[in-house]
Structure 1
Amino acid sequence: MNTFILLKILATLMVPPASLAVGVVLWLAIRMIGWRRLAATVLGLSIVQTLVLSFPPVSGMLVGLLESKARSLTADSPLCCYEAIVVLGGGIAPAAPPHTTEPELTEGSDRIWQAARLYRAGAAPKIIVSGGSFVERQGGPATTEAEAMRRFLLALGVPDAAIVSEGKALNTIENIANVRDMVKGGRVAIITSAYHVPRAAKLAAKGGLDFAMVGVDWSPPGAATPWWDRWLPSVMALNYSNRALRELVALAFDRRGESLAR
């Protein structure tokens, strides 16, 4: 098992619902050996974690920590002029023919739309779409994220000649390393979701890129959502909490980005 797979598994297991499933398994195992009080504590903590992270005020606080950093990082980003606009993977699910023949847009698809807008505004003469596919690398049916983004950009009216595909990267570190090799010191505008901006900027700086950050997918203000969506537990809030926690943990503890330094 390589590091990429191991970290993906650990990141999934540390947050609900996987962490709740782990708690239930541990509860059964510990209970079987007679440590009933410890078993109940483990199960209780798993349930509490799931409930707490499901509350919108908690998810809003966690996402807010990332987006406040993102606002400071994107505040002074000029709209022009760059050698390339770089779109980081995460905004689209690749097609997996013959099962699915078209890419599937995800929550982060604003990344691609924003790239098309900047290109049309004259921010750069080309767009680099960066994102591979673990399934494709393992010989599965999926195409790459880069190919999926290219197809979407074509549908948005961006000329094929203006799109450069980087279809090998499986994570942000590889995104930055591969883009750096492509632009050879040229200035780039990096587009990613707001919650991901702080980590992407940290890695881009480590890699020595000349860059500006462009954030998309910002959280809507509280006044733009009904009161029940702001206070009642929900699957959406749990999803936002999980995503933010993974980013915050990676920002604080992931040292793999040191490999980008030259």
Structure 2
Amino acid sequence: FTNLINSILYPEILVFMGAFICFYTLYICIRYRDFSNFIIIGGLSIAFCCCFINSFTITSVWNSELNILRGANFSRHSITVFWGSLVAMMGFYDKLTRYNFFNKKYKKIIVIIYAVQLFMGYAIEGVSHASSRDFPIEGLSSWKENVALINKSKSLCFPINPYGWFFKYNCDVLNKVKPYNEPKIIIDAEKFYKVALPEEVHNRNINGIGFVVSNFGNKHTEAKAKIIIKTKDERMITEEKNLVIYKKGGLIFFNSKLYKTPVNNIKMVQIKFDKRLEILSRELGSKKIYAIWTGY
């Protein structure tokens, strides 16, 4: 229902309607003073404070262009606004039923409307998001295996949920990789493939390499990967890891043996998996694999 209203009305009209509702609610509170005023003012304050903070911290979305009003959804940024509004409506409905605004018949209708607003809003969204999400929302965090290294490492990066988020301590993600916007190639099992060195990692020290893979859209499965890094001074760095690949993909990240590895000293990077998979490539038709690099 909210999305239907947003698609019909312009954001400026929604702002006017919201301001009218707020001022009218405050007018009701001033004229009819009782304990429900605390609930109404408290709920509106919660919603206002959340919007106020978001306008300073998430300026790419919460700004004067009002694009946030064109699509209502429940997220960590807006859920507080929803609950604040719900608390305010609870106090407002209590005030309507407390005074003789309507007869008993309409009081029941008000209760039904409130229940519909509650269950058609958060309940449906909550149930739809209750199940465990697939990659790239979940299933790629390596927090448990790296948390013990936080106080021991001078530079550390590792992925956390959702995709694109990293724990970063004295390091950064050197190249940005979008899992759905990059071309993919099919790699055979037990065969080494060269990994491309992007321009963004030149003259840097590497402490992590990650690979986005998929199992052709099949149900989640397990795979084993092995990476080999050959340096110009004839050293060889190898690391093996197990990977859980979900229906929409997975991310495997190597960082336990890559601390302070200068890119200028890397001669070649190779990766192999024990299963036939899809993996990101820099260019269509290229057999070089594209990786996520972290370092400083």
What TM-score bracket applies, with the shorter chain setting the length? under 0.3
Please state which structure has a larger fraction of its residues in strand.
2
TM-score if structure 1 supplies the norm length?
Answer: 0.26
Please state which structure has a larger fraction of its residues in helix.
1
Answer 1 or 2: higher relative contact order, Cα 8 Å, separation at least 6: 1
**Which is higher, the Rg of structure 1 or of structure 2?**
2
